Amino acid sequence: MAISFDTHPDRYKHWTLEVDGARATLTLDVQPHGGLRPDYELKLNSYDLGVDIELADAIQRVRFEHPDVKVVVVSSGQQRVFCAGANIPMLGSSTHAFKVNFCKFTNETRLYLEDASERSDLKFIAALNGTCAGGGYELAMACDHLLLIDDGSSAVSLPEVPLLGVLPGTGGLTRLVDKRKVRRDRADVFCTTSEGVRGKRAVEWNLVDEIAPRSKFEEAVDARAKAFIDAAGTARGPAITLDPVAPTIDDDGHLQYTHVTVELSAATRTATLRVRTPDTAQPTTADEIQAAGAAQWSLRAFRELDDALLRLRMNHLDIGLVVVRAEGDVDAVLASDKALHDNKDHWLASEILALQARVLRRMDLTSKSFFALVDEGTAFAGSLLELALASDRIYMLEDEDEAVTIALGPANAGAFPMTHGLSRLEARFMAEPSFVGRALERMGERLAASEADELGLITVAADDIDWEDDVRIALEERVSLSPDALTGMEASLRFPGAENADAKIFARLSAWQNWIFQRPNAVGPEGALTKYGQPDRPTFSWTRC
């Protein structure tokens, strides 16, 4: 079954988004028989990928369609349960690849909440009106303030280790000690105690920020929401409307958007991802950016790119190598970028830049090889040059008349940080930091292959005679290698330098979870995930490795 990431509040099954002035409320009321597949039931507000697709859409719509909102209250529509986390029967019956990509998407969605808090001054309150376990608590920890009902039974917990033999899948361990700074020994107790922690101890251990009795719970939520609104900055807006970006899919499975195309080759296990520059004049002033709304190229193209990356991840697992091409007019993309950066204090320009950064991070974290090809008709400049810099290799044609060029712009000077906080140029030149400044001094210039090679911006410069053979051999060699080894290699090489909390979630958690999801202690016939809900207990292999 092909998974679509296109949705709208009118089609939500599990979330309700209500907006009242500066406050929005996202209410989770998961429909038990509304999962992506019919073979599991979503009990106790547990979630599957479809629930998180709606959540990601809701956050994006609040940022663009409701810019006056200053606080979002995340609550539950079910009595005595906030969220039981990821649905266990769903995980147990899913393929390994699906489990890993599901966790990656939910990780990115929680990071999107934190990005909205940091970049858009949009604060989130987790109104925990009942038991909050596993992925539900991980969602809560992505919020700015956790308010737990104090009713003698409601608790927060991360029960994955004792109950399922796996790890909390969406950043829970990292947020526990890095973000909430819970003491290591207390975190150890918490993560191995399946019943969790409630009441005053939850506050004392900094697992939640506040508790309130049932009779005063809504009053406490209202007070905290008012405090966030009062502390917020000036109002933003007016709002824009996000139109659908779902592609047309032909009989061969190729994806056709307005500015993005994905051509699939099952025989070679490759895809060609084409992003086209704008073909009409783009807005240059804040008023024009506002008037253009969702139709402007910078927003539309990157929303399409985001959707394409997600579909490649979830629906085309055997595609191992993506050939990246940016096509069109260098001047057009540089002009569009310049308008955004010149008006970055305008709310909409700022939100578009934040979205572009998030989509590029999605590309960084996608477990496929990316090779950028720079030849005739390409336009790797500014924000589209970031696509090349995010790729594992860059091949550039060295033509005699130097018509094939790339160009740096303000988009390459740190506007789109990677998950670990570095710009892609900084990550590229870890051993030679001065090369970053040297490259940026050439901002706006058209750089032919020889100059780009001298500046360290490309991997291979090949002349007309060698181009086709060099590219063909590189592609054939790449797809002949073990996909498992490549995934591990790429994840290690793409993020040089120090880690931060966000980077740890992927560099540590995702790698360990990937391994644990294949181990018999979790998913074998006697494993904890397999045996969950059955009367007999799991049988473990006691070998530590």
Please give the chain's pLDDT, 545 residues, in tens: 799 999 999 999 999 999 999 999 999 999 999 999 999 999 999 999 999 999 999 999 999 999 999 999 999 999 999 999 999 999 999 999 999 999 999 999 999 999 999 999 999 999 999 999 999 999 999 999 999 999 999 999 999 999 999 999 889 999 999 999 999 999 999 999 999 999 999 999 999 999 999 999 999 999 999 999 999 988 899 999 999 999 999 999 999 999 999 999 999 999 999 999 999 999 999 999 999 999 999 999 999 999 999 999 999 999 999 999 999 999 999 999 999 999 999 999 999 999 999 999 999 999 999 999 999 999 999 999 999 999 999 999 999 889 999 999 999 999 999 999 999 999 999 999 999 999 999 999 999 999 999 999 999 999 999 999 999 999 999 999 999 999 999 999 999 999 999 999 988 877 888 889 899 999 999 999 999 988 999 999 999 98
Q: For residues 531 and 521, is the Cβ–Cβ distance under 8 A?
A: no
Q: Tell me the C-alpha distance between 93 and 96, whole Å.
A: 9
DSSP helix/strand/coil, 77: coil
Q: Tell me the C-alpha distance between 476 and 464, whole Å.
A: 19
What percentage of the chain carries pLDDT values higher than 70?
A: 100
**Residues 213 and 328 grouped into a single domain:** no
Q: How far apart are the first and last CA of the chain?
A: 36
* The token pair that represents 45 in the structure block: 């507000």
Q: Tell me the C-alpha distance between 357 and 411, whole Å.
A: 10
Q: Tell me the C-alpha distance between 218 and 149, whole Å.
A: 9
| 512 falls within a domain | no
Q: For residues 55 and 62, is the Cβ–Cβ distance under 8 A?
A: no
Q: Phi/psi of residue 155, each to 5°?
A: -140, 165
DSSP one-letter code for 165: S
User: What is the residue range of 81's domain?
Assistant: 9-231
| 390 falls within a domain | yes
**Residues 372 and 450 grouped into a single domain:** yes
DSSP helix/strand/coil, 245: coil
pTM exceeds 0.85 for this model:
yes
| 517 falls within a domain | no
One-letter amino acid identity for 476?
Answer: E
Query: What is the domain count for the chain?
Result: 2
Q: For residues 132 and 82, is the Cβ–Cβ distance under 8 A?
A: yes
**Residues 269 and 176 grouped into a single domain:** no
In the block, tokens 């990677």 appear at: 418
Q: Tell me the C-alpha distance between 137 and 203, whole Å.
A: 14
Q: Phi/psi of residue 502, each to 5°?
A: -60, -45
- Give the number of other Cβ atoms within 10 Å of residue 216's Cβ: 12
Burial class (CB in 10 A: 0-12, 13-18, 19+), 432: exposed
Burial class (CB in 10 A: 0-12, 13-18, 19+), 340: buried
Q: For residues 73 and 221, is the Cβ–Cβ distance under 8 A?
A: yes
**Residues 266 and 409 grouped into a single domain:** yes
**Residues 485 and 433 grouped into a single domain:** yes
- Give the CATH number of the domain where residue 78 resides: 3.90.226.10
Q: Is the dihedral of CA 382, 387, 388, 390 positive or negative?
A: positive
| 498 falls within a domain | no
In the block, tokens 């992927």 appear at: 506
Burial class (CB in 10 A: 0-12, 13-18, 19+), 10: exposed
| 502 falls within a domain | no
User: Which stretch of DSSP H or E encloses residue 388?
Assistant: helix 382-389
Distances in whole angstroms, Cα of residue 119 to Cα of each of 26, 239, 447: 20, 17, 33
